[in-house]
A and B are shown apart, each in its own frame.
Chain A
Amino acid sequence: MRHAFVRLSCVVLFLAIFGCGRVDRHSETVELWHWMTDRDETLQKLARQYEQETGVRVHVELFAPSDAYSNKIIAAAQANVLPDIFGLLDKKPIVASFIKAGFVEDLTPAFEADGGAWQAELFPPAVDTNRFLPGNVEGVKPGIYGVPIDLTNIQLVFNRTLLKKAGIAEPAKTLDGFLEQVATLRRVGVTPFVSGFGEIWLVDCFASNYAFNILGEEKVMRTFQGEVPYTDSGWIEVLRVFDRLARAGAFMEGIVTKGNKYAEQDFALERAAFAFNGSWCVNVYHDMNPALDYGVTTLPAADPLLPMRSWGGAGSSFVVSAHGPNKEKAIAFLHWITRRDQQIVLTHETYNLPSNREAVVALPEVLGGFLRTMAHTTHPMIWSHSEDPVVVEALDKGIQAIIIGDATPEEIAARVQKVKEQQLRKLRRPGGF
């Protein structure tokens, strides 16, 4: 009896593993791989609706966390088994490499069809982050390669209740004013500022905003090209912003090891008066503390005479595989999902800004604030040059060191410049790229 049971279970296991192990797909089904845990349900729903309307099946598959997703995309590209629709979460040079290696379909014809009707429907910054301009340094054929499904930007959010407690009516527009407010907040026992500065990219975003403000875009680009050194007084001024904020006690204790998730929790639970976060935070804060009374504004400018910009553009974009059997169907689906009605569904179910201009209806108040600050944005994807990621890492880690009082701005500037020169030498080496 017992033996019979053991044997039976062995047979069942064998069948389970070898028998129905492989899922065969119809090649007519459009495959879509994404990484957005918060939007999976809505995307699934929209895909079902699309199948009902058009008869085209779109198979939506979610892979989390996003690091694992990126790994999978790189591996799938090497094995040439990319799905019809996927996302590239990487930096501009890597996106360019994907395009140059022929994995990504050029969507320019689709966007320009009917006198550019599709392009006209969308917010220009969302399209721009998916565009390669003529004469780009990456050497990509100019055109639009991705479809933005939403819009985002990263700004300063502030807790009205806590500011009121310190007698502050409005967040300061200048850094000097902000530092005064920091002192006021500390006096009444309120932690002024929190952000996920344990994550390199948020430090990078914050720093690059001040670099644009202090040095101007042109000089930042020349730094990336190696023409302006990081020891330039402008860059030292950028690093000093962090030093001044740290000395004034602006940052929450432990900010440099905080993941953004924990920083979001801190702001939602009213442990800090200000936070530096992206428009997705509306969804997060709403979830953790629906009663939170907060607003959004741009970062206080270090140089009030020059514009203060922050990163913004498409939050999530999809590209179409150039080798897939369903290119036309994939493009048609992506076009459909950026149409007004679908964008309204996405906006209202997931609290993200729509990429379609006509879908801006009945936005929650703070999301409206983020939409207004969209006017003051820029994005690494639209810059003419990109900094070497090794230098970016050195800069951002250096900024963390300044925040914890481990190094002075001058020391960090010298260190980053050394790394920059090292990378430049590598670039000039024969065979380097």
Chain B
Amino acid sequence: MARDRSVILRVVQNMFLHVFLMTVAVACLFPLFWMVRSSLMSKAAIFTDHGLIPRDPHWGSYATAWVKGDFGIYFLNSVLYTVCVVMGIVIIGSLAAFAFSRLRFPGRNILFTLFVAAMMIPLPGSFVPLFVLMSKLHLANTRLGYVLCMINVGLSFSILLLKTFFDKMPTDLEDAARIDGCSRLQIWWHVALPLARPALAVIVVYNALNVWNEYILATLLLSDKSLMPLQRVLMVFNGAYQVDYPILMAGLTMTALPIIGLYLLMQRYLVKGIFSGAVVG
């Protein structure tokens, strides 16, 4: 009897939980749905057809956006920037975070505080000096310059998050590795990084999204179409005067897909219970 009641309670609880989760899910999915829906409408229908599903879907906007916006080249640029910046941040940031968490050297706490403090100062004020600096270093209008700038933008946050996770992690495995004669660098690569996978997954997604959606620094630092990232196309589509909404929405959908794909990929590391064996706490 009591068992039955607890089963019923569970089912009711689960129902409420799912209703709650579904409500949030719908609120999250709606814009995506709406974006895709608008991209399938004709220019004339977009303001007049209020139906949820376009009566007469036009797939042509995607082709038009791809060709008209020269998506191909910008897409490649964005992929290149994203991969480089994310790799750079993961390596540089995790090295630093590992040191801040595990290694001892003079000025450690002050340096860490400086890194965290740096992300609090809003960037807009420093655009002009940044550009002047990049020009002096001959890095303005180069891929390298943009990548380094973007690494800098994401570094503080990544170090903070990774250090937090390193601090949380057990040292047993590292101690064992040390006794086996592993160097610090080997411990970082073979022990610390694999253990920090969920945090690394967050870092990868965060920084990838940051670079993927960035255009202010790109416009400032780059002066050639051939070097520009994907967001430039969207800014042009979303121009000051006339906006072709179906094409803009098609462009936005195509831009959002790779990031959603990356997130799906990273989910594995984010969610898999890789800590089931290790003792945490």
Contacts and interface: CB of A to CB of B under 8 A. Distances in A.
A and B in direct contact, judged by CB atoms within 8 A:
yes
B127 A71 contact: yes
B269 interface: no
B106 to A, nearest CB: 34
Given A21-B142, A69-B219, A72-B219, A289 B47 contact: yes
A347 B32 CA distance: 37
B140 interface: yes
Contact of B242 (A18, A23, A33, A283): A283
Contacts of A289: 47
B84 interface: yes
Contacts of B144: 17-18, 21
A21 B143 contact: yes
B131 interface: yes
Nearest to A66: B240
Nearest to B218: A68
B265 interface: no
A17 B147 CA distance: 8
B215 A75 contact: no
A40 interface: yes
Interface string A397-411: 000000000000000
B244 interface: yes
Nearest to B217: A68
Contact of B128 (A18, A64, A74, A81): A74
Interface in B30-57: 43, 47
Contacts of A134: none
B68 to A, nearest CB: 9
Contacts of A366: none
Given A81-B140, A287-B244, A61 B223 contact: yes
B224 interface: yes
A428 interface: no
A66 B241 CA distance: 11
Interface in A45-87: 61-66, 68-69, 71-72, 74-76, 78-81, 83
B175 to A, nearest CB: 29
A17 B43 contact: no
B95 to A, nearest CB: 17
Given A61-B223, A64-B239, A78 B143 contact: no
A21 B221 CA distance: 13
B220 interface: yes
Interface residues of A, number: 41
B169 interface: no
Nearest to B131: A75
A202 to B, nearest CB: 13
A13 B76 CA distance: 12
Given A22-B141, A64-B235, A79-B140, A284 B241 contact: yes
A63 B223 CA distance: 8
Given A68-B215, A72-B220, A287-B244, A17 B143 contact: yes
A79 B239 contact: no
A365 interface: no
Contacts of B131: 72, 75-76, 78-79
Given A37-B236, A78-B132, A61 B225 contact: yes
Contacts of B127: 71, 75
Nearest to A284: B242
A16 interface: yes
A64 B232 contact: yes
B84 A17 contact: yes
B124 to A, nearest CB: 9
Interface residues of B, number: 38
Interface string A16-46: 1110011100000000010111101000000
A40 B236 contact: yes
B245 to A, nearest CB: 9
A154 B47 CA distance: 25
Contacts of B47: 265, 268-269, 288-289
Contacts of A269: 47
A235 B80 CA distance: 57
A261 interface: yes
A158 to B, nearest CB: 20
B23 interface: no
A283 B232 CA distance: 22
| Residue picked from A36, A75, A283, most chain B C-beta under 10 Å | A75
B226 interface: yes
A75 B226 contact: no
B43 A79 contact: no
Contacts of A66: 240
B220 A75 contact: yes
Interface in B224-248: 224-227, 232, 235-236, 238-244
Given A23-B141, A287-B244, A33 B223 contact: yes
B186 interface: no
Contacts of A76: 131
Interface string B147-174: 1000000000000000000000000000
Contacts of B87: 13
A74 B219 CA distance: 13
B216 interface: yes
Interface in A287-306: 287-289
A336 interface: no
B144 to A, nearest CB: 5
Given A38-B239, A64-B236, A81 B135 contact: yes
Nearest to A352: B241
A65 B235 contact: yes
Contact of A63 (B128, B135, B219): B219
B202 interface: no
Nearest to A81: B135
B80 A13 contact: yes
Interface in B116-135: 127-128, 130-132, 135
A37 B219 CA distance: 14
Contact of B132 (A37, A61, A79, A83): A79
16 contacts: A21-B227, A23-B141, A23-B227, A62-B225, A64-B235, A65-B235, A66-B240, A68-B215, A68-B216, A68-B219, A71-B219, A79-B132, A79-B135, A287-B43, A287-B244, A289-B47
Given A64-B239, A71-B127, A71-B128, 12 more contacts: A13-B80, A13-B87, A37-B235, A65-B238, A65-B239, A65-B240, A68-B215, A68-B219, A69-B219, A72-B131, A80-B135, A283-B242
